[in-house]
Structure 1
Amino acid sequence: MKKTILIAIALLLAVLLGMYHLAYDTIGRWLYSTVTDVEARFYGFKQQRVDIGDMQLAMYRNDNPGKPSIVMLHGFSADKDVWPRFAKHFVDDFDVIIPDLAGHGDTGFDAKWDYSITAQAARVAALLEALNIQHAHLIGNSMGGYLAAQFAIVYPQQTLSATMVNPAGVTFPQPSEMYLLITAGDNPFFMHQRSDFDRFYPMTMAKPPYLPKVVLAAVAQKYIERREELQTIFADFHDTPLLENDLHRITAPAMLWWGDQDRLLHVSAVPVWQAGIPQLETRVFQGIGHMPMVEIPQKTADIYRAFLDGL
């Protein structure tokens, strides 16, 4: 009898524990989604979906007709929510467009889509055409910086300026911590358990903004669930030809930022970009990691504003 009672109690505890973890994950996802959307709306952004032919791109936009346009491009595995705290400084004087690139965020994933940088650049061009925008300033982080440079090369007439923030897309003279892991067969973006996320997250920023533990847990779980999707996206964009032989084709005003503590993409690539783009304006931020626009949004916004005002 006692054994039966103990088994029943153990089963009940297991059920309650499972319900707790399920609720914890649900609460974390709801908090992250709700708070980021509310914050974006507070800054003046609305969510939209734009049909570009083969898909609908989700995006934030402040919808400021008649003003110069800025397109802000997130990195691999990120989404549009990395930009609003930086972007809020431009809502009065610019038409700010922050898309979820194919495979990311609310745009979603489809195994049939091409996730190469070439294909993503064509989608940005299609987005501008769908919005009836003749040309725009582009700023992109990481994979998004690679994309901003690719766009400036392939679509020069539509590029008012290109700003690359800790970008991928060239050969790195010194390997980063992430590169060393990848060459050893251990890509930190592809997660199987929470400890993988706990290793990865500190690599993304030297000075990350505060996030509650429940939110971090939800983000970790989402990475785990998306592992196979991220592998597909990474394979496509990683196989895109590198840019160093084409950087001289960027004729628009260009700027490069890098955090000197970047553990994902090594700061040693700065001279490669400078050699390829003679007119390049460069800023290296001391004590900052892979996402300066998230880590120091006010400072980077001031620098970007001065850059745009000086064009």
Structure 2
Amino acid sequence: MRWRRALYAAALVAAASFAVVAVLLWRNPYGLVLADFHRQRIAAGLSRDSLVLDEHRWVYAYSNEAPAGAPTLVLVHGFTGSKENWYPLAQRLRGRYRLLIPDLPGWGESQRRDGGDYGFVAQSARLARFIERVARPQGGEVVLIGHSMGGGIAALTAARYPREVDRLGLLDAAGVRFRDNRFGIEVLAGRNPFAVHDGASLQRYLDTVFFDAAAKPTIPWPADAIYIARRKRDAAFEQAVLNRIGRGPERFLPGEEAQRIRQPALLLWCRQDAVIDASAMALYAARMPQARRVLLDGCGHMSLMERPDAVAQAVAALAGPP
């Protein structure tokens, strides 16, 4: 009889727990995705913090576990991305360098303002102030690493705010007129090749940004439906950003101003990148002759997730010894 009472009690606890989770998901379905992001951050050994800067609340992951005077790496995500994209790389760099991994304003957990400007120019100015406020007080050099859209923002930040950036890394970076591919043609035609509105478009999105099938994430039910719903709500915002960084007058500004970049630099691409064609690396290199070039094979647009060991090695070579 005792084991029956214990089993009954356990069933009641499980039912109550399920009910609590169900209510929380009903109130905030995206909380399930955020809970998994929390799990990933803890697994990567990172903490979380926030601050209000220029009327935007920034949320960022960080690690101060590093030797005294170690460089601070500021890692900036791309279009439709978030700080979580950097966690595989962070696991390989934590302990050697201080890490600051923000959600850019408008993206992830950071604040978005209706009608706000989230193009290259506005975001580079915000990023410079974030570095000044959060990274510089840590001491040591600031190494700014940007991926995709974040690469264009990082390039413009290094060019326009050189006192805030000691070294620069561009991974599969936007901001130059690369060789035509399907992604670029669709952007110029006014479409969003990353748009997600159902299961098929979600799979197409993942197939576009990832080349290595082993690195491609799986999004199980019900997280897939929750993620799709979030991306549908973000559709107008994504188009507004593309209007600035993909079709507007500032779309090639990072590449044009890259000739002003004097800091030691890294250019890293994947040969099979179907988003920012690898021809972009040579265009940046022509304006940044001091940059070391690394071309990886067997990966697509998400080099930081598909080849984190190789990317970590290249970033460590740029940042120098801790």
Q: TM-score, normalised by structure 1?
A: 0.85
Counterpart CA distance in 1 for 2:167 and 2:37 is 28
- 2:154 aligned partner, one-letter code: A
1:244 counterpart SS class: helix
Number of the residue aligned with 1:183: 188
Superposition deviation, residue 241 in structure 1 = 4.8
Counterpart CA distance in 1 for 2:82 and 2:59 is 10
- 2:277 aligned partner, one-letter code: H
2:256 counterpart SS class: coil
Contact 1:194/1:220 (8 A) holds in 2:
yes
Corresponding residue to 1:79 among 79, 82, 94: 82
Counterpart CA distance in 2 for 1:212 and 1:192 is 15
Does residue 172 of structure 2 align to residue 166 of structure 1? yes
Does residue 142 of structure 2 align to residue 136 of structure 1? yes
Number of the residue aligned with 2:217: 210
Corresponding residue to 1:120 among 120, 123, 141: 123
Superposition deviation, residue 66 in structure 1 = 4.7
Counterpart CA distance in 2 for 1:210 and 1:265 is 20
**Please, which moves more after superposition, 191-200 or 256-265?**
191-200
Unaligned runs of 5+ in 1: 1-21
Superposition deviation, residue 184 in structure 1 = 3.9
Give me the CA root mean square deviation: 2.4
Cα displacement string for residues 254-295 of structure 1 (whole angstroms, at most 9, x for unaligned residues): 111111111111112222111111111111111110011111
Does residue 245 of structure 2 align to residue 237 of structure 1? yes
Residues 203 and 155 (structure 1), Cα distance of their counterparts in 2 relative to 1, 3 Å cut: same
Superposition deviation, residue 118 in structure 1 = 1.3
Superposition deviation, residue 155 in structure 1 = 1.1
Unaligned runs of 5+ in 2: 1-21
Contact 1:28/1:217 (8 A) holds in 2:
no
Counterpart CA distance in 1 for 2:291 and 2:50 is 34
Does residue 57 of structure 2 align to residue 56 of structure 1? yes
Amino-acid identity (%): 25
Contact 1:256/1:283 (8 A) holds in 2:
yes
Does residue 233 of structure 2 align to residue 225 of structure 1? yes
Does residue 114 of structure 2 align to residue 108 of structure 1? no
Counterpart CA distance in 1 for 2:44 and 2:321 is 25
Query: Once superposed, which parts of structure 1, at least 4 consecutive aligned residues long, lie more than 4 Å away?
Result: 25-31
How many residues of Structure 1 are paired with residues of Structure 2 in the alignment? 288
Contact 2:272/2:300 (8 A) holds in 1:
yes
Counterpart CA distance in 2 for 1:270 and 1:98 is 24
Q: TM-score, normalised by structure 2?
A: 0.82
**Please, which moves more after superposition, 288-297 or 239-248?**
239-248
